[in-house]
Amino acid sequence: MKTPASALSGRWEAYWFELVPPHVFALLRILFAAVALLSLAGLTPVEMFWSLDGLSPLPSNPSGPRAWLMARGLSAAAGWAFFGYSAVAASAMLVGLRSDAAVLCTFLGLSLQTYWNRLPLSSAHQVELVVLFCLIWTETGRVWSLDARRHTRDGAQDATGLPIWPLRLIRAQVALIYLSSALWKLSYPAWRDGTAVYWALNLNGFHRFPWPIPVALEPLLPFFTWGTLLFELLFPVLVWFRATRGPVLVMGLGLHLGLWLTLEIGPFSWVMIASYVAFLDPRRVARLSVTTPSSDRLPSTGTLRP
Amino acid sequence: MFSNPPRVDTYFRVRYYIESEGGRPWTATELVGPAHREDRIRLVSSFRDSFQDKALELAGEGFLRRRKPAAIAPGTRPNELPDDLAPVGRVFARRFANARLRNSAQRIVRTEVWVGTADNKAFGSPVDRQGLADRRAALLEYADGPAEHRLRVPLYPPYHGVQEEAGIRWVLEYFEEP
C-alpha cells in the first residue's frame, strides 16, 4: 500500500520525468534558431555590431581578450569570425544538423555576445538565452531534423519519449518573465495611472506609424495599459490550468502581435510567441508530424526514472 | 524601456569638424538616432534599425549613469567623461570619413555627440500639428545624410552647451579631439 509520502514522491517524479513525444522540443529548436538567425540579420552591418571598434563598448579591462584583440588590429576579423560562427551554429540548429551540439554552440554564442557587445541586445536576447539553456539538456534533433533523416533507414523517425522537465523549466521561466515584468511596471506611476501605453506608442524610437494618436482614441489606452498589466500578473496563474491555458495563450498572442503591429521592438514579439510552444500539449504537437509513426509508437504516459 | 516609458522623444546626432591645410574648416552633422526616418512607416528595414537604436539608448544610459555631476561644466575635457558614448562618435566619424573624406587632405579634428529631447504632448491634450510639422521639417535637413555647413561654421560650443531646433533641445554630451 502506498504511503502519502511515496504517492507525493511519485507525483513529483511524474511531474518532472514524464515522457513526452520529442516533437515539441524539435519545434522549439526550429523556432528559436529562426529567431536567432533573424536577430543576426538585424545585427548587421557586421562592422557596426560585431567589430570591437564598432558600436560596441570600449574594453574596460586593458588586459582582457577584447583589449588584446583590439591592440593587435584584429577587431574586424574577430567580429566576422564570431558572426560567422553564430550564423553557422544557428543554421545547423534550424535544420537539425548535429542538433545537440548546434543548440549548445548557439547558446554559447549568445552568451558570449553579451560579453562581446551588449549594446544592441534587448530583453529578447535574454529570453533566447534562457530557453536555449533549457533546450541544451534534451534531445531536440530526434525528429524534424537532418539528424533524424540520417539515422533512420526506413524514414520512420525515432519518436520515443523524452523527459518533460526542460519543457517545464521553459514554462516556469516564461511565467516568471511576465510576473517580474508586471511587478516592475506596478512600481511606476504611468502603469498605475493608465498612461504607459500612450507614452510608449508616442516614442519616436519605437512607434511604427508616423502619425500622432488620434485624441478620440486616447480614452481607450488606459484600458490597454491596465489590461496588459492584468494579463502579465495573471499569466503565471492562468497558464497553469488546462481550462484557462488556451485562452490566456491566445490573449498573449494578441498582445504580442499588437505590440509588433504598433511598435518596432526588434525580435521581442517573435521570441515570446515562439516560447508559447512550450505550453502546447506535446502530444498534440506530435500530431503535426506527417512522418510520425502510428500513435501506438508515441510514448504512453510513462516516467523516466532518474 | 516600457516599464517606465519616457515622456520625451530622444535623438542622437554626431557633428564632425573638418579641416585641411590651407582650406576653410567646415562641419557636417549627422542624425544617427533614431536610425529610421520618423516621418515614414517603419517596415522591414526598421527591424535592423531597432538594433542601432537600442545600442544608442544603452550607450546614452550608461553615459548618464557614470558621468559625475562635477563634469557638467563648460571647460570639461573628454578625459573627464565616461567613455560610453565614445564608440558612437568614433564609428560614425569613421564611416563619414570613409564616405566623404577619402582621398582628400581633409581630416576630422573634432567629433561631438549631441543628445536631443523633445517633449511629447501630455495625455489628453490636443495635438500640436504645427509644432510636429516644424520638427519634421528640421529633421528633414538630415534625411539625405550628414548636413554640411561650409559658410557659417559654428565655433566649438562649451561642454554641455545647448541648442534649440524646432522643439528639440540638443545637449552636447560628449566630444573627442583626435
What per-residue confidence (pLDDT) applies to A153? Answer: 59
The answer to whether residue A12 is domain-embedded is: no
**CA distance readout (Å), A225 to A192, A195, A257, B58:** 8, 7, 16, 25
In B67-128, which ranges are continuous DSSP H helix?
Answer: 86-100
Residue B61 lies in a domain: yes
- Within a domain: residue B14? yes
A297 to chain B, closest Cα gap in Å: 43
**Chain A with chain B: Cβ pairs closer than 8 A:** 121
Look up residue A230 and give its amino acid: L
Determine the Cα–Cα distance for residues A305 and B23; give it in Å rounded to an integer: 81
Q: Is A190's Cβ below 8 Å from some Cβ in B?
A: yes
Within-domain flag for A282 = yes
DSSP B129-174: HHHHHHHHHHHHTTTTSPEEESSSPPPPPPTT-EEEETTEEEEEEE
Pairing of strands B26-33, B8-19: antiparallel
pLDDT along chain A (306 residues), means of 10: 85 94 97 98 96 95 93 96 98 97 98 97 97 97 92 66 96 97 96 96 94 90 97 97 96 97 96 98 89 49 50
Q: How many domains does chain B have?
A: 1
Q: In what order do the strands lie in the sheet with B162-165?
A: B147-149, B26-33, B8-19, B107-119, B168-176, B162-165
Measured between CB atoms, which of B34, B48, B121 is closest to A44? B48
On whether any CB of chain B is under 8 Å from the CB of A287, the answer is: no
Within 8 A of B126 by CB-CB distance, chain A residues are 215
The verdict on residue B65 lying in a domain is: yes
Number of domains composing chain A = 1
| B-chain residue closest to A196, CA distance | B5
* Of A46 and B128, more confident: A46
For residues A200 and B5, the answer to whether their CB atoms sit within 8 Å is yes
pLDDT of res. A152: 76
* Option in A38, A55, A267 nearest B55 (CB): A55
Asked if the Cβ–Cβ distance from B3 to A118 is below 8 Å, we say no
Domain of residue B82 covers 8-176
pLDDT score of A303: 55
Query: Could you tell me if residue B95 is inside a domain?
Result: yes
Domain boundaries, position A108: 17-297
Instruction: Please tell me whether the interface predicted TM-score (ipTM) of this complex is above 0.90.
Output: yes
Handedness of CA A170, A174, A175, A180 (dihedral sign): positive
- Is the separation of the CB atoms in A139 and A22 below 8 Å? yes
Distance (Å) of CA B21 to CA B11, B97, B175: 33, 16, 22
Query: Does the bond joining A45 to the residue before it have cis omega, within 30 degrees of 0?
Result: yes
- In a domain, residue B35? The reply is yes
pLDDT at A157: 58
How do residues B49-90 score in pLDDT, each as one tens digit?
Answer: 999 999 999 999 999 999 999 999 999 999 999 999 999 999
Residue A213 lies in a domain: yes
Rounded to the nearest integer, the mean pLDDT of chain B is 93
For residue B2, being part of any structural domain is answered with no
* Nearest one of A253, A256, A265 to A208, comparing CA atoms: A265
Residue B3 domain flag: no
Nearest of B60, B73, B5 to residue B34 by alpha carbon:
B60
Point out the residue among A185, A200, A264 whose CB comes nearest to the CB of B50.
Answer: A264
Q: Which residues of A touch B4 (CB under 8 A)?
A: 188, 190
Q: What is residue B157's predicted lDDT score, i.e. its pLDDT? A: 96
Average pLDDT over residues B160-167: 96
DSSP character at residue A58: P
Torsion B100-B102-B107-B113 (CA) sign: positive
Residue A74 falls within a domain, yes or no? yes
Sign of the torsion formed by the C-alpha atoms of A50, A52, A54 and A56? positive
Contact A210 B39 (CB under 8 A): yes
Residue of chain A nearest B54, judged by CA positions: A120
Determine the distance in angstroms separating the CA of A59 from the nearest CA of chain B, rounded to an integer.
10
Residue B104 above 90 pLDDT? no
Please indicate whether, in this complex, the C-beta atoms of A122 and B54 are within 8 angstroms of each other: yes
